[in-house]
Structure 1
Amino acid sequence: MPVGGGDIGLNLWVEKGEVYLYLSQSGTFDENNTLLKLGRVKLKLSPNPFEGKTFKQELILNDGYAQISGSNGKLNTQIKIWVDVFNPVIHLDIKSNQKITTEASYESWRFEDRITKGKENNQNSYKWAPQGIIKTFKDEIGFKGNTIQFYHQNKPETVFDVAVKQQGLEDRKTELFNPLKHLIFGGSLRGDKMIPAGNYSGTYLNTPFQGWTLKSKSPTKSEQITIRLNTSTTSVQAWEKEINAIKPAVSQKASIKWWNDYWKKSFIYISSKDETANQSSKNYQLFRYMLGCNAFGKYPTKFNGGLFTFDPQLTDSTLKYTPDFRNWGGGTHTAQNQRLVYWPMLKSGDFELMEPQFDFYLKLLKNAEIRTEAAWGHKGASFTEQLENFGLPNPAEYGWKRPTDYNKGLEYNAWLEYEWDTVLEFCMMILETERYDHQNIDKYLPLIESSLTFFKGHYTQLAKQRGAKSLDGNGHLVLYPGSGAETYKMAYNSTSTISALKTVLKQLIEYPSLPDSKKKEWTEMLQTIPPISFSQFDGHTTISPAKVWERINNTESPQLYPVYPWGIYGIGKPGLDTAINTFKYDTDVLKFRSYVGWKQDNIFAARLGLTEEAAKLTTLKLKDSGRRFPAFWGPGFDWTPDHNWGGSGMIGLQEMLMQVDGKKIYLFPAWPKDWDVHFKLYAPYQTTVEGTLKDGKLIDLKVLPEARKVDVKVMIE
C-alpha cells in the first residue's frame, strides 16, 4: 500500500513475516533523468509477531499513516509507519508487549554501476535511442557512526548536455536552466537504540542487492526508527550537513492535523446498491491520498506512477528490471497525460498541490524562449509534448536520425510533430486558481503571455514564408501545420488549439491585475483566432477535429476538447446538440471510446449531461484495479500505478456531480438518481458546495458564501 506525506512516497508490504518499504522522494533524477528510488528498507523482528495467527495491515486514511499489527502466542506488536508532512522524515514506531530484537536493513540494487539495455532505457530520457552505453551509476552507501548513510551524486555530464548538443544550443548553454547539475539525493537511517550489525547480499525478484543492517543493542519493548531524506544541488559535505540538521518531529500531531484538514476540505462519499458506484467513491479517496503525498514536492506528481512505482515484473512479467523502472521516463513530462492528474485539484480545492506543476513550467520558461529564438528567430515559449525537466524536447523523440535540413525547432516524430498547445491547459489551470481561490498569479503571467506569444509569432511567420499575407482572408491566423492532440496530424486549424487559444485569451483578458495595454494586445490576438470547424455524420452536424488533416496517428478525440477541458460547449450553452452529436455519431470518437488510462470519454459524457454513459464509463475507470491496492490502476497506455487513469476518473465523478459555467453552478447534471451521495466540492469565487442526496432528493445543501446559493441549479429533481 502507499504511505506518504510532504514530498515522500513509500510502498509498504509484509512478506514472509518481514516488513518492506520502497523509498521515493520528489525530484530524485539521475544523470540519465531516471527518477530513482532511494532504496528499500527491511524490518525483521525476533521473536516474530507476524508469524502467528493474527495479522493486520491497514492504511489509516484520515490520519495519513499505516499500521501493521500481529500476535504470535502472547506476543503482540504494532508498527506505525508515518511520514512527517512538513519535514522529509519517515518514522517507524515499534511497540510490543514483550521485549523483542529489531533489525532494520537498508537494501540497494545500486551498489555497483549497472548497464541499462533495451526497453530498460524507457526509464530514462534515452528511451529506444541510447547514444553509446548507458549506465545507472552506483550510489555511495555505508555506516556512519550508528547510522546508515546513502546518496547518489550526479556526475558532471548528464543527458542535459547531450540534449543541448543534439538540439544545436551549445552557444546558449550557460544561459540554460539545468536541474540535473550538482544534484545529490539520498538519506540516512538510524534507530534510537540500534547499532551497526554488518552486511549481506541477496536477490529480490531477479535483482541482486546488498544490505546494511542496524540491530537493537538489546531486546526492548519499543523502538523508534527514522529515515531522513534530502535532495539538493550542492556538495556532499553540504548535503551531509543539511541532512544532519533535519530534526525529526517530537510528535505526529501536526501531520495528522494536515491530513484531517485535507479530508475535510473536499470529499465524495457514495452509498448505493450499485457496488461499482461505491468502489468509485472509495477509489476516488484512495487516489486523492496518493496525490496528497506529494503536496509539497519540488516536482509535480508524474502521470506514470507518481512516487509509487514498484518492481516492473509485477506489472509485466517480461520486464525483469530494477525497481527504478517506469515506462515513459522519469524527468520527461508528457503534458497530454500530466494535465489529467492536475485538473481535478480545482474542484477538490487542492490549490497548494497545483503549485509544483505550475512552477515546473515557470522554471523552464527561459529555456523554452531561448529554444524558440534559436530555432525560429521569433519570440515566445515553445513547450513541446514529451518535454524534459530542463525545457527541451526529449532527445529520443526529437530524433537522432533527422534530415540535415530539418528545422531544429521541431521534433522529428510522427506522433509529436507540431504539438505544442498542451501548455495552454496549464496556463488555464493557473488562471482558474485565481478565479476559484482568488490567488495572486502575477508571477505566472510571463509564462501565460509567452506561451500565447509563441502561437502568434510562429503562425504569422509561417504564413509570411508561404505568401504575402500573415493572416487569412477573414483576418484569422492560419494554424498550419498543427496537431489535434497526437491523433490528427499535419492539421489545418486544429480544434484543440483554437479552443485553447480562445479560452485562455478570454480568461487572461478578464484577469483583474492585467494592465490595459496588455488587455488591448490580447483582445487583438483573440480577434485573430479562427472559428471551430464542423463535420457531418449521417446528417448530424458534429465538431470536426480540424479544418483538414493528413493522417491519424493515435486514438484521442480532440474534437471533444471544446467540451472538456475548454467548456465552449456544455450544459446550458449554445450548440449542446452539436457536441452530443459528436459524442454519438463521429465514427472516430466511437472507435476510440474506452475507459482505460488517459481516455476522457467518461468526462465528455458527464459534461454533456449523458448520465447513463457517464456513470458506466466512470465506474469502469474507478473500479478496483485488480491489484492488492485497489487504486493501483494500469499500466493502461503508460505504467502502474497509472495516475492519469486515476485523475481522469476523479474528473469524471466531479463533473457528474457538479459543473460550473461563469457564476452558474449545476448540481447533479449527470448523476444517477439511485446513487445517494454526501459531497463537498469547490466552485469559482471562493465557493464551497456541500450537500447530501438521499433517495433522489437533495435533503441538505450548504453553500459558502451563502450569497452564492442563488447561483445553484439542482438538476436531479
Structure 2
Amino acid sequence: MPFFVFFVPLCLIASIAFSQEKDNVVWTTQSRNSSESMPVGGGDIGLNLWVEKGEVYVYLSRSGTFDENNTLLKLGRVKLKLSPNPFEGKIFKQELILKDGYAQISGSNGKLNTQIKVWVDVFNPIVHLDIKSNQKVTTEASYESWRFEDRITKGKENNQNSYKWAPQGIVKTFKDEISLKNNVVQFYHQNKSETVFDVTVKQQGLEDRKADLFNPLKNLIFGGSMQGNNMVPTGNYAGIYLNTPFKAWTLRSKTPSVSNHIIITFNTSKTESISEWEKDLNAVENKTDQKASIKWWNAYWKKSFIYINAKDETANQSAKNYQLFRYMLGCNAFGKYPTKFNGGLFTFDPQLTDTTLKYTPDFRNWGGGTHTAQNQRLVYWPMLKSGDFDLMKPQFDFYLDLLKNAEIRSEAAWGHKGASFTEQLENFGLPNPAEYGWKRPADFNKGMEYNAWLEYEWDTVLEFCMMILETERYAGKNIEKYLPLIESSLTFFKEHYTYLAKQRGAKALDAEGHLILYPGSAAETYKMAYNSTSTIAALKTVLERLIEQPTLTVTKKAEWAAMLKTIPPINFRQFDGHTTISPAKVWERINNTESPQLYPVYPWGIYGIGKPGLDIAINTFKYDTDVLKFRSHIGWKQDNIFAARLGLTEDAAKLTTAKLKDSDRRFPAFWGPGFDWTPDHNWGGSGMIGLQEMLMQADGKKIYLFPAWPKDWDVHFKLYAPYQTTVEGTLKDGKLVDLRVLPESRKTDIIKMIN
C-alpha cells in the first residue's frame, strides 16, 4: 500500500520517530513480590511473571475457570529455580517484547549467562518456558498450589464469589486434585454436583424451570499438567507466600544441560468423567513452534495503533499505556468468556492491593462469574476503533448464551415476553443472589432485585446490542445469530413498561402516546427515575439502527418502527440560565456518582460534533452541578470520553492523560483498584476510548479527524471507522503529513479539524 509520492520522505522520518520497541517494558532489577509482576499471555491464558530473590514465579490464569461458588480460580503457580543460579549475579533483565507477544528474562552470574523465554501459544492452551544457558544448569520446576485442601471462606473473602456478603451457611473453596504421573504433575478442579447456580435458582423461585435453564457450572472440570525435558519428580515441599500456605510438587532435570523446555498444558471440559477430561488434556496438540503465535501478535499490532511523540511526557505515557493495555486485552482473544473488568487474567495477591485482605491469589473484588454490565461495556467499546472485532465475540456470546434464561425469568416473574438482563448478572443469566436479596418483603415481586443500587436497572444490555450492530457496520460481520438477543432485549422494555402502566391504571401510554418508563434508573445513580435519559437514548438509538438492518422482514421493521414512536423525548433542566440535558424527568434520590445525563453524548451519539444541540450537551458538561461534582479520571469514570466527544480538547487531554498515566505499580498499565480491583480493566478501557475519540470520531458516513487533539502532540495512528474503513495518519508539528484511507473512496468523507 504505497503512500502518495509527496508524502514519502516525511513518512519515512515519522516511521523512525514512532517505534513500537520503545513501548517494550524493561526491568533491570528483580521484583519484590507478585504486585510487581509482568503480564504475559495469549489465546485465553494470562500469566503474571516475576523474579523474586533469584527465583522465577508464574501465576497461571485462564478464561472460564469458575468453581462451585463462581470464583474465577487461578490454575496455580509455577516456581523455576536454576542451579547454579544466573539470577544471583549483578546483571538482570526482564523484558516484555510487545511486537512478538512474549517475555524474556536474562541473568548473568560470573561467566554464567542464561535466558528464559516465557510465551503462550495463541492457538493451543499451552504455556512454554524455554531455558537456554551458556553453561550446564540444573532446572527445578515446582507446581505450587494453595488449594491442596478445602478452605472455608469468611467475611470479605466471599466477595470473590457469588455469595458476597450474604453466604447461606458455610462456604468452602474445595481442594484441587494434584498428582504426579509418569514424570508429569497433573492438577484439576472438578465442580461438585451442587453449585451456587442451584442455590440461586431456588432463591429466585425458578425451580420448576430449572431443567430448562443454562448452567455453565455443572460438570465443569478445569486444570492441566506440567512437564519438562528429561525431568523427574523429586518430591514435595510446603511453604507460605505472603499469608497463604501452599504445597508444591517438584520436577528436576536428571542431568544438568544448556537448555530445557517446560510446558504447562491446560484443559477445560464439561464432563462428569475425569478420564474423559484427561483424554482431552492429552489430546492438546503439543506444539513448540512459536512462529504462528508471533505471526498473530505481529498482525495484531499492525492492525491498529496509536504512537505519540510529544514534549508532554503524559501524552507519551498515554500512548504507551494504550498499547500495553491493548496487549492485556489481546491475551484473551479466543476465550470462552469475556475479559473481566475487575482484573482480567492478571490479578495477584490481594493484600498487595488492600493490606486488610490477606486472602489467597484467587481473590478479586466484585466476583468471578458475576458480570457488572456498566463496567464490562468499557472493556469492549474500544475494540471497535482498534478493529479487534474477533475479541468482542466472547462478550456477545456471553449474552446470547443467557438469552433463554433471561426470557424464562421475565415470563416467570411478570408473565410477559422479553429478556430481563440485570446489571449485576451471573454467568447463568440470573441476578447475583446477594444483590437480589435474601431478606426480602414477603410480597416483593420475585423478578426484582431488592437492592437500592440495582433496582429497575435493565438497560445496559442495550450497549452490547449496539456493539453487535456496530460490528456489522464497522466490519461487515454477519450478526444474524444475535438478532434474537437484540429483539428480545427491546421487547422486554415494551412489554414490561406496558405491564407496569396497566398495573397502575387503565392507560398503557401517556397522553402523547409514549411509554411511561417508570420506575426506572439512570445508571446506578438517579433512582426511581421517571423517563431516564440513559434508557431513552439507548432505546431510541438501538431501535433506529435495528430498523436499518437489511435482513429484517417488512413486518418486523414496521413493528420496531411502531415501538420507536413510543419512546419518550429526552428531558432538560436549567443551571444559571444554561439549558442542560436532565438525567430523567424526575427522580427520588441519587445513589452513585455516574453522569447518565451525558450518555446521549457517549455512547449513544445523539449529541456531538456537527450535530444539533451540541451547545446543550456542552452546557451539561460545564454547568450541571452533579456532573461537576462527580468528575474524575478514576476507574470507570468516562468524563474524558464526554470531553472528547464534545470537542473540548483541553479537558479531554487533561482527563485522558490523567487516566492513562503510569499506574502506581511496577507495570504501568496495572491501574486500580479504583472502584473495583487491580488491574482495573474498565479504567484502561475508558482510557483507550478517550484517546481514540480525541483522534477520530465517526457520525454516519462522516469521519472527523483530530476533533479534540492538541496540535503539539505528534502522532502516528491507525484506527477503524464504519463501512469497513481504516484510517492511518501522521500528524507532525500540527500538520497532517500523511493520510491513508482504505477504501480510497472514503477519503471524501474525511473532515480534518486541526488544520
TM-score for both structures, normalised by structure 2: 0.95
Letter in structure 1 aligned against 2:124: N
Aligned to 1:592: 630
CA separation in 1, counterparts of 2:269 and 2:691? 38
Partner residue of 1:103 out of 120, 124, 140: 140
Instruction: Write out per-residue CA displacement over residues 294-339 of structure 1, whole angstroms, 9 at most, x where no aligned residue.
Output: 0000000000000000000110111100000000000001000000
Deviation of residue 362 (structure 1)? 0.2
Q: Does 1:708 align with 2:746?
A: yes
**Aligned twin of 1:385:** 423
Q: Distance in 2 between matches of 1:423 and 1:326?
A: 24
| Partner AA of 1:264 in structure 2 | K
2-structure distance, mates of 1:518, 1:17: 65
How many angstroms apart in 1 are the aligned matches of 2:534 and 2:186?
A: 50
Q: Where do 5+ consecutive residues of structure 1 fail to align?
A: none
Q: 1:696 aligns with which of 720, 734, 739?
A: 734
1:517 aligns with 2:517: no
Tell me the equivalent position of 2:202: 165
Mapped to 1, the partners of 2:575 and 2:678 lie a distance apart of 37
The residue aligned with 2:164 is: 127
Shift, 1:116, TM fit: 0.3
- The letter of the residue matching 1:137 is F
Which residue of structure 1 aligns with residue 320 of structure 2? 282
Corresponding position of 1:154: 191
Match of 2:31 in 1: none
How many Å separate the matches in 2 of 1:101 and 1:562? 62
Residue 294 of structure 1 aligns to a residue in which SS?
coil
SS of residue in 1 equivalent to 2:653: helix
Alpha-carbon shift at residue 511 of structure 1 (Å): 1.1
CA distance in 2: counterparts of 1:232 and 1:205, whole angstroms: 32
* Runs ≥4 residues deviating over 6 A: none
Residue 648 in structure 1 maps to residue 686 in structure 2: yes
- Please give the secondary structure, in 2, of the residue aligned with 1:70: strand
1:526-545 matched pairs, under 5 angstroms: 526-545=564-583
Could you tell me which residue of structure 2 aligns to residue 353 of structure 1?
A: 391
Q: Which residue of 1 is the match for residue 34 of structure 2?
A: none
C-alpha separation between the residues in 1 aligned to 2:91 and 2:288? 31
* Shift, 1:540, TM fit: 0.2
Q: Distance in 1 between matches of 2:414 and 2:716?
A: 53
Alignment of 1:186-225 (within 5 A): 186-225=223-262
Q: 1:499 aligns with which of 537, 544, 556?
A: 537
Aligned equivalent of 2:284: 246
User: Where does residue 456 of structure 1 map in the other structure?
Assistant: 494
Pick aligned residue for 1:671 from 709, 722, 730: 709
Match of 1:439 in 2: 477
Letter in 1 for 2:372: T
Cα distance in 1 for residues equivalent to 2:109 and 2:434: 54
Distance 2:608 2:185 in 1: 57
Quick one: distance in 1 between partners of 2:679 and 2:446? 35
SS in 2 for 1:96: strand
SS at match of 1:523: helix
Q: Deviations over 1:610-633 (max 9, x none)?
A: 000000000000000010100000
Amino acid across the alignment from 2:466: M
Alignment of 1:527-606 (within 5 A): 527-606=565-644
Secondary structure of the residue aligned to 1:580 is helix
Aligned: 1:36 with 2:73: yes
SS in 2 for 1:282: helix
Deviations 1:142-188 (A, max 9, x none): 10111000000000000000000000000000000000000000000
Aligned to 1:686: 724
SS of the equivalent of 1:650 reads helix
**What SS does the corresponding residue of 2:267 show, helix, strand or coil?**
strand
Q: CA deviation at 1:33?
A: 0.1
Q: Hey, what does 1:482 align to over in structure 2?
A: 520
1:526 maps to a residue whose letter is L
Partner of 1:292: 330
Q: 2 CA distance for matches of 1:511 and 1:96?
A: 59
SS where residue 433 of structure 1 aligns? helix
Cα offset, 1:677, TM superposition: 0.1
Residue 22 of structure 1 pairs with residue 55 of structure 2: no
The residue number in structure 1 matching 2:700 is: 662
What is the aligned counterpart of 2:299 among 233, 247, 261? Answer: 261
Residues 1:184 and 2:224 aligned together: no
In the alignment, what sits opposite 1:624? 662
CA distances 1:408-449 after superposition (whole Å, capped 9, x unpaired): 000000000000000000000000000000100000000000
- TM-score after normalising by structure 1: 1.00
Residue 28 of structure 2 is matched in structure 1 by none
SS of the aligned residue for 1:681 comes to: strand
Deviation, 1:515, is: 1.3
Alignment partner, residue 358 of structure 2: 320
Letter in 2 for 1:164: V
Query: Which residue of 1 is the match for residue 511 of structure 2?
Result: 473
Quote the offset at 1:250 in angstroms.
3.4
Partner of 2:23: none
One-letter amino acid matched to 1:506? E
Counterpart selection for 1:420 from 458, 461, 467 = 458
Partner of 2:672: 634
Q: Equivalent residue of 1:348, what SS?
A: coil
Q: For 1:195, what is the secondary structure of its paired residue?
A: strand
Task: Give the percent of matched residue pairs that are identical in Structure 1 and Structure 2.
Answer: 86
Secondary structure of the structure 2 residue equivalent to 1:615: helix
Partner Cα separation in structure 2 for residue 247 and residue 200 of structure 1: 31
Number of the residue aligned with 1:117? 154
| In 2: Cα distance, 1:516 partner to 1:9 partner | 47
Aligned counterpart, 2:127? 90
The amino acid that maps onto 1:155 is K
Runs of 5+ consecutive residues of structure 2 not aligned to the other structure: 1-37
Between the aligned partners of 2:162 and 2:739, the Cα distance in structure 1 is 50
Q: Within 2, Cα distance between the matches of 1:247 and 1:90? A: 12
2:91 counterpart (35, 39, 54)? 54
C-alpha separation between the residues in 2 aligned to 1:232 and 1:658?
43
Query: In structure 2, what residue type is equivalent to 1:52?
Result: G
In the alignment, residue 65 of structure 1 is paired with which amino acid?
A: Y
Q: Distance in 1 between matches of 2:317 and 2:189?
A: 40
Q: Counterpart in 1 of 2:41?
A: 4
Q: Over residues 557-585 of structure 1, what are the superposed CA-to-partner deviations in whole Å (9 max), with x where a residue is unaligned?
A: 00000000000000000000000000000
Measure the CA separation in 1 of the matches of 2:289 and 2:278: 24
C-alpha displacement at 1:108, in angstroms? 0.3
Counterpart secondary structure, 2:393: helix
Deviations 1:252-284 (A, max 9, x none): 000000000000000000000000000000000
Distance in 1 between residues matched to 2:289 and 2:125, nearest whole Å: 14
CA distance in 2 between partners of 1:192 and 1:96 (Å): 15
1:606-621 aligned at under 5 Å gives the runs 606-621=644-659
Alpha-carbon distance in 1 for matches of 2:288, 2:577: 70
Q: Show the counterpart of 1:77.
A: 114
Distance 2:371 2:555 in 1: 34
Paired with 1:104 and 1:715, the residues of 2 have a C-alpha distance of: 57
Amino acid of the structure 2 residue aligned with 1:64: G
Secondary structure of residue in 1 paired with 2:236: strand
Corresponding letter in the other structure for 2:368:
G
Cα RMSD over matched residues?
0.4
Give, in angstroms, the shift of residue 696 of structure 1: 0.3
Q: Residue type matched to 2:638 in 1?
A: Q
SS in 1 for 2:127: strand
